[in-house]
Amino acid sequence: MFLRLIFWEFQPEKWAEKRKLFLHCKRPGTENTPSIAGLGKACELAKKELAQRIERLKNLRDMLCGLLAVASMG
């Protein structure tokens, strides 16, 4: 891999592409594994709570509609 990077430095089009990656601290092949795992866990927890949240929001919506109906009559 080290030899490949040295070779690419002599190819201007590829060197410019690699330089952009290194300037933004994003090297190819270095994924942010802890964040990816954290996102997966967050999605798992959100999925478990989804039905409860939907039910709560439906109740709030119905309560708001009822209050607006009463307010518009009076």
The per-residue pLDDT for range 4-30, each reduced to its tens digit, is 555 545 566 666 666 666 666 555 677
Name the percent of the chain lying above pLDDT 70.
61
User: How many residues are present in the chain?
Assistant: 74
Q: Which domain holds residue 33?
A: 2-73
Name the percent of the chain lying above pLDDT 90.
50
CA distances from residue 2 to 8, 9, 11, 38 in whole angstroms, order as listed:
10, 11, 15, 32
pLDDT at 1: 44
pTM: 0.45
> How many domains does the chain contain in total?
1
